[in-house]
A and B are shown apart, each in its own frame.
Chain A
């Protein structure tokens, strides 16, 4: 595999994750997101996990989260209802870091 441009799904596929299917560590209040004009999350998440669906609503998938906290510090309109680190043993596991 040569050096080339990769999109986030491919980049994330290189990492080791243990996804917590029961308890997402980041929860959105969709009603707040609906009225948010800025939506910085769509651009700033380095894992590209915030996306617009066909209805123009923000869709978020916590699997693949790198736990960086960028969305947490950038979300001004409180669309992120709660942000915590994943429960112990869950989330990303960097083998190199």
Chain B
């Protein structure tokens, strides 16, 4: 990077947010520098993961994602677990999988996805500089005018911080403070290699179809859950938990994941596979409450995870799609406003138009519901216990339904009153 360069925009971080932003800006003829600390885009990144495809529309019809994704999700499963027992709900829908066209979501591996997206940005004319860690923002008269990496300084009209959930840049720029531990969860994951034929047989999938499985009740009572996504020739199996509760209960998250691998309902899905990578990453859990009051300051915008744009509803987690949309929103604002002072407000109104902020606001209640501690142990236990009673025939005189339910409630440590209150809370959303 030479100090003589001045760009229209510097985008820090080649995740989905940064690459989407750089792609649009470059396509529209702007001089864009996309800086990434990893040796390649994606080398530092982890998600579950699946990418909800709707966000790609904002990149334009010509944007091709084919080389960046694994399978089209046509099977959605939810597993509720208590001890060795489990209930699985499975929803199969060829139309979800897009039947050869655009699906609802794709499974992804981040080295591939991020590498692919950054290359599209480069193709459109952005300069991709990997292996450079941005250390600080440069400020003149209260305005962000560029970035510093080591001894290098580079200038631009706008800096877009797309540097992820643990955004040192947003902190440097004074847009966010210390990240409260209760606002994040930590996720760990193993990628387990399996032949594609085996994956398709085990999950009853056609050749390019994929499955997404979300699990509840497997975190030892800690707020969180687990996931399994099928890639082309591997599955991604991981756990996501609240670190404060992990510290309190004392069982490390990697141990939870090891136990999950041997769970009688999970083991058959991964049997014969070989773990080829182990990863960990934070994910924002606070919903709209985790979004900073100021998403911009003169000369600088926050996009993607650095702005807290993640919606985690337990059965779906949306981060990458919101990252892409917010990257596009940033690009549109920069393109629309010649006056730098107006770029920030324009960004916020683009976030409204692209439904990023409205979606965050609308899901506030769900995020609150996730705080109910009973969701992670008592309710899974109750559900599994009811199914056990339903299916067990032991030759005894069958109990009345009401007595069965009462017994299950008691053994799940729940009162009818508590259940009614929680149900009401859920229905109010």
Interface residues of A (CB under 8 A from B): 1-6, 8, 11-12, 14-15, 38, 40, 43-48, 66-70, 72-74, 84-89, 91-97
Contact = CB atoms under 8 A, between A and B. Distances in A.
Nearest to A47: B280
Nearest to B266: A3
A47 B254 CA distance: 8
B278 A12 contact: yes
A97 B181 contact: no
11 contacts: A3-B270, A3-B273, A11-B275, A43-B251, A46-B252, A68-B186, A68-B281, A85-B168, A86-B133, A89-B39, A97-B279
Contact of B46 (A44, A45, A85, A97): A97
Nearest to B237: A3
A46 B253 contact: yes
Nearest to B35: A88
Contacts of A67: 44
B66 to A, nearest CB: 18
A70 B280 contact: yes
Interface in B7-52: 37-39, 42-47
Interface residues of B, number: 60
B44 A70 contact: no
Contacts of B47: 97
The 3 closest A-B pairs by CB, nearest first: A97-B110, A69-B166, A40-B247
Nearest to A46: B280
Interface centre among A1, A48, A92, by most chain B C-beta atoms within 10 angstroms, is A92
A70 B285 CA distance: 13
Contact of B132 (A40, A66, A88, A96): A88
Given A43-B251, A89-B39, 13 more contacts: A3-B271, A6-B258, A8-B254, A15-B277, A43-B252, A46-B186, A69-B165, A70-B243, A73-B179, A73-B184, A94-B42, A96-B277, A97-B112
Contacts of B244: 40, 74
B279 A74 contact: no
B262 A97 contact: no
Contacts of A12: 278
Contact of A73 (B42, B259, B280, B282): B282
Contacts of A4: 261-262
A14 B277 contact: yes
